[in-house]
Amino acid sequence: MKYLFVKRSLFTLASLLSALVLLLCGAIWAGQAGPSRDLPPVINGTALAIDNVSIVNVRTLTVKPDQQLRLRDGHIEAILPAGSTVPAGYQRVEGNHAYVTPGLMDMHTHIYDRKDLVITLAHGVTTVRNLRGMPMHLRWRQELENKQWLGARMLTSSPVFDRPELAHALQQAVRNPEQARDLVRHFKAEGYDSLKLYNDLEPAVFEAILDEAAKRAIPVVKHGPYAVVSDTLSGLKLEKLNGVQSVEHVEDIFQTVLNFEFGLEKLDAYLRQLANTDVYLTPTLATFDHLTQLSVHKEAFVEQLPLDQFNPFFRTLNEHFAIERWLTASQKLADWNLRERELLLRIAKRAADLQVKLLVGSDQGTMYMPAGSSTHHEMALMQEAGIAAGQVLQAATINAATALQLSHELGTVDVGKRADLVLLANNPLLDVEHFRQPVAVVKSGQWLNRAQLAKLIHTSPPPQHWFPSFGRFLEDQLSRAFL
């Protein structure tokens, strides 16, 4: 009798384990499925003549009115005087004297759903740099390149490199320089566009990554500054950063260079050194402003956010690990955040004054940071800090294209460049807030008017539910289990 009970128990346990394995395999399979059919389509082959527009030159920060843009095969074919005869085969579009800028580029995002890239595009952000890479991002990037659906172009970093004692499930622990070199080679071979480094890596590990990345011609993006490069008083020079594509977060300058002190005495020495490197700085003011609003206004702030646009699985992770602490923040912490928020604006302004090369990066995807509109908010905060609208626009266009080594195809409105464009009713050189209401967006020559943009945001497919998203999380964990 006892034998039968044990046998049945083992059979039940084996059945449950088999069911669990099948469930997990099913989730991974669902996560690897191709794009849904109701994602917006790419429409190829339309040749456009957009007449009566004013072209914004982001190099010189000037405007050339009364122009006609001709677009063909996804590129800018010609720029002519307004009213030029439109050849046969072109569709004429009346520009109504709109201002034409290059498509915006958000250089610090966290993309967790295909829907994020659709909504991002609908806000005039035609290119993003995703900074926590997973296998799903490589597939989505390829789908976009294959024109299987319409969304913002995405470049993606590797998973985040971090110290073993600090790394969590979405990050890659790096134990020593030898493993660091192996990881650089691995993620380069996998096809990631850059490497993302986090927190206070050991100096020997950091230098091994930079050396191997240079050999493999893969850019490095770094949270920072941190100890291996930031202590200007110790004699460590920021020339160590040459070869790094960008450093992220002015908040980290407050935490390290200023050591959480509100005086700015140490700031200029650091920023002058940074300005003399080839490295760009991504302030990410929006994400700290976001957590400040959460800590001050709590649920009242949350209630006005488009929560239905977030992927539910990754939203749950954010709620547990990144949002809860701010919704339960004390008044003392909320007051500190308000004070720090103002300091970060001052740091960003001082960086601009000292000619540090700036990028626009919203940190979209963290906490409740929504796609697309977070980019606009980042630009507005840079302007609030006192950075001129034209400088902000440069950070979101030509600077980003140069940092990515894509200035031959993106970043300006020039003949031969990709037809990734934004049309605005008012001059963005006077106020970047005008980007919040684009007249139209052009993606690789495909025209999207206001009604179509609204449809992309509000009626295109909802984010995928938790099951395939959980599968993508599992896939990421398995892909790195033995690295």
> What span, in angstroms and rounded, lies between the C-alpha atoms of 15 and 224?
49
Residues in the chain: 483
| H or E segment and range at residue 458 | helix 450-458
What pLDDT is stored for residue 327 in this prediction?
A: 93
Overall average pLDDT of the 437-441 stretch: 97
> What's the DSSP call for residue 462?
P
Query: pLDDT category, 18, cuts 50, 70, 90?
Result: low
The residue written with tokens 């950075």 in the block is: 387
Query: pLDDT category, 233, cuts 50, 70, 90?
Result: very low
Residue 234 or residue 482, greater confidence: 482
- For the cut 80, the answer to whether the pLDDT of residue 180 exceeds it is yes
What pLDDT is stored for residue 246 in this prediction?
A: 94
Residue 275 or residue 21, greater confidence: 275
pLDDT in tens, 319-362: 888 899 999 999 999 999 999 999 999 999 999 999 999 999 99
What pLDDT is stored for residue 367 in this prediction?
A: 94
> What span, in angstroms and rounded, lies between the C-alpha atoms of 40 and 150?
5
- For the cut 70, the answer to whether the pLDDT of residue 4 exceeds it is no
> What's the DSSP call for residue 418?
B
Span of 153-167, 185-199, 263-277 with lowest mean pLDDT: 263-277
**Residues 398 and 412: beta-carbon distance below 8 Å:** yes
Span of 184-188, 265-269, 380-384 with lowest mean pLDDT: 265-269
Position 132, amino acid: R
Overall average pLDDT of the 448-455 stretch: 95
Overall average pLDDT of the 78-90 stretch: 95
- For the cut 60, the answer to whether the pLDDT of residue 31 exceeds it is yes
What pLDDT is stored for residue 7 in this prediction?
A: 54
What pLDDT is stored for residue 236 in this prediction?
A: 47
Residue 160 or residue 7, greater confidence: 160
Beta strands in 103-240 (DSSP E): 104-109, 125-130, 153-162, 171-173, 194-197, 220-223
Alpha helix segments (H runs only) across 167-260: 177-190, 203-216, 227-230, 250-255
Highest mean pLDDT among 176-190, 265-279, 298-312, 461-475: 176-190
Residue 482 or residue 401, greater confidence: 401
Q: 211 vs 13, 203, 206, 435, CA distance in Å?
A: 50, 12, 9, 40
What pLDDT is stored for residue 234 in this prediction?
A: 42
Highest mean pLDDT among 133-147, 159-173, 259-273: 133-147
- For the cut 80, the answer to whether the pLDDT of residue 9 exceeds it is no
**Residues 246 and 194: beta-carbon distance below 8 Å:** no
What pLDDT is stored for residue 235 in this prediction?
A: 42
**Residues 372 and 122: beta-carbon distance below 8 Å:** yes
What pLDDT is stored for residue 263 in this prediction?
A: 85
What pLDDT is stored for residue 3 in this prediction?
A: 60
Q: What is the DSSP string of 249-302?
A: -HHHHHHTTSTT-S--TTHHHHHHHHHTSS-EEE--HHHHHHHHHHHHHTHHHH
- For the cut 90, the answer to whether the pLDDT of residue 257 exceeds it is no
Residue 241 or residue 183, greater confidence: 183
Q: For the packed helices 114-122 and 135-145, what is the interaxial angle rounded to 10 degrees?
A: 50
Overall average pLDDT of the 259-270 stretch: 86
First to last CA, the chain: 48
* Nearest in space to 417 (alpha carbons), one of 145, 153, 76, 64: 76
Rounded to the nearest 5 degrees, what angle is found at the Cα of 29, between the Cα atoms of 23 and 35? 135
Helices (H) and strands (E) in the chain, counts: 18, 16
Secondary structure class of 367 (helix, strand, coil): coil
- For the cut 70, the answer to whether the pLDDT of residue 10 exceeds it is no
Query: pLDDT category, 232, cuts 50, 70, 90?
Result: very low
* Nearest in space to 363 (alpha carbons), one of 248, 463, 222: 248
> What span, in angstroms and rounded, lies between the C-alpha atoms of 86 and 447?
17
Overall average pLDDT of the 427-435 stretch: 98
Q: What are phi and psi of 318, to 5 degrees?
A: -65, -40
Overall average pLDDT of the 420-449 stretch: 97
For the chain, domains (ranges, CATH) are: 2-39+466-479 (no CATH), 101-458 (3.20.20.140)
> What span, in angstroms and rounded, lies between the C-alpha atoms of 478 and 483?
10
> What span, in angstroms and rounded, lies between the C-alpha atoms of 206 and 380?
34
What pLDDT is stored for residue 224 in this prediction?
A: 74
pLDDT in tens, 351-399: 999 999 999 999 999 999 999 999 999 999 999 999 999 999 999 999 9
b/e code 359-376 from CB counts within 10 Å (16+ = b): bbbbbbbbbbbbbbbbbb
**Backbone φ/ψ region at 35: left (φ over 0), alpha (ψ -120 to 50), beta:** beta
Q: 479 vs 151, 154, 183, 273, CA distance in Å?
A: 26, 21, 12, 39
- For the cut 50, the answer to whether the pLDDT of residue 229 exceeds it is no
Percent of the chain with pLDDT over 90: 70
> What span, in angstroms and rounded, lies between the C-alpha atoms of 396 and 375?
9
Secondary structure class of 107 (helix, strand, coil): strand
What pLDDT is stored for residue 14 in this prediction?
A: 63
Question: Which residues 6+ apart lie within 8 Å of 12 measured at CB?
Answer: none
